[in-house]
Amino acid sequence: GLSQVNYNRVMSAIASYCGSTAVLVSAHQSIGVPQPLKMYGTEAQKNKFMPRFAQGAISAFALTEPEVGSDPANLSTTAVLSEDGSHYILNGTKLWCTNGPIADLLVVMALTPAKIVNGRERKQITAFVVEGNSPGIEVLHRCDFMGLRGIHNGLLKFTNVKVPAENLIWGEGRGLALALGTLNAGRLTLPAACGGLAKACLHIARRWGNERVQWGSPIGRHEEGSQKLAFIASSTLAIEAVTWISSIWVDRADVDIRIEAAMAKYFCTELAWDIIDTTLQFRGGRGYERAASLKARGEEPFPVERMMRDCRINKIIEGTSEIMRLFLAREAMDPHLKRLGVLLKKSSSTGDKLQGALGLVGFYATWLPKQFINGSLFAGHSDTGTLAPHVKFVDRYAHKLARVLFLKMGRYQQALEQKQMLLARVVDIGTELFAMAATCSYAIHLEKTGQKGAISLANHFCTLATRRVKASFKALSDNDDGLGNRVAADILDGKLR
């Protein structure tokens, strides 16, 4: 099969032409049956199902339910093993299942009987391969969306669906881990699709910037137009950089890329939305007009409005931007929380807390000074050429971010998880720094291979990103979060209408 890099090249090309086709392929290949089977399936399962995909079978991924969005704890679909152990009986409803209405095979997440772990009941979310034509599967509704009008997405009901026991993937209770592992591939497919969209926007904007003349010169030469073009071009390079570097790490297969995959998904989908919004504004009324209407009156039918409608979902699927920020914040805090765990537990004995405190002193005695004494400040970064100041900025502010997160954890302790806006800014800073480092590295590589102009674009992106990072740091202490919380509470309480 294709490597992650080459698969993403294909997805980028598809997305540059049609968002609906890209989503169909992604739902089938990135999170549908092939990926979890490749990662977690038995040889028997692979031999049974994989040849069917080579022959054109379509797959889907069914996790979301009417009452289950980002929190799988509310999962209600059940799978009960038959008395003879030959099959499971599946019952439940799945919502927003892309490819579901036309799928030959589906990965379905369901609850198998709970287990008692350390005296407590623990839900068991389990993954199954389900035949799309199984008796008892019904398409209750075909969903219709703002964009992606070409996809097949629906509300599916499973009523006493028989699933062979050998179709269980990886073991009971491992469905959530399987879903999260599979989503890493899906989260890297979205950045690739965003890159294709961004390139299409750049093509449209370049053409329009040269051809549209106002007040005696092309609008791309006017300062407003120039800034938009520069933003689109440099942001496109950044999306490419983050996508390809993350994809290369996946292909190495020896790197845990959960954080990078989530960052790539978050960064690229947010930036792609800004790119398409800027492109539509640059095109003016022609950006808002449908391609068919433009063609009917003899103009170039650039489908910018369709691209915008199709792009909007990217900030929602595979984990909303808000969920990505919380996930990334948790991952960033996790090493510290593990060390603080003994101290934070009310049930810990005094002796355990004392031993834990001594361990913390030993760890932070070396960790914390490193965040203040940054060796890179004394390095010349000669190998990074004119981008050296940006590389030094990334190093310096990465240490600053580590210090800030440490201090905030000390101040808020367990309550920090409820400070979502603070965590969002921390994640935004970390994501921007990651993107800056990736963009500099990618630009240097492109220049070495003879692709001129990449350094200039990287410099522009990093200059803008530097301003955003500094603004986010300032907002950690100077913000209006409290005011917004109070106003929202008054709205919910009916005091403001």
C-beta separation of 364 from 378 below 8 A: no
Q: At 212, is the secondary structure helix, strand, or coil? A: coil
29 contacts 35 by C-beta, under 8 angstroms? yes
| Distance of alpha carbon 427 from alpha carbon 331, whole angstroms | 10
The DSSP code for 85 is: S
User: What is the rounded CA–CA span in Å between residue 440 and residue 457?
Assistant: 10
Out of 260, 289, 318, 432, the active site residue is: 318
Cα gap 80→110, rounded to integer Å: 9
Q: In degrees, to the nearest 5, what angle opens at C-alpha 311 toward C-alphas 476 and 198?
A: 85
Instruction: In whole angstroms, give the CA distance from residue 364 to residue 78.
Output: 46
In angstroms and rounded to an integer, the radius of gyration of the C-alpha atoms of the chain is 25
Count Cα atoms within 13 angstroms, Cβ side, for 53: 22
The beta-strand segments (E) located in 326-426 are: none
> What is d(CA 496, CA 308) in angstroms, rounded to the nearest whole number?
33
417 annotated active-site: no
Determine the 3-state secondary structure of 350 from DSSP: helix
Task: Give φ, ψ of 380 to 5 degrees.
Answer: -85, -20
Q: Are strands 87-98 and 78-81 parallel, antiparallel or unpaired?
A: antiparallel
Helical H segments across 142-257, by residue range: 175-211, 223-252
Distance CA(102)–CA(11), nearest Å, equals 21
- Residues 433 and 259: their CA atoms lie apart, in Å, by 13
Give catalytic residues, as residue numbers: 318
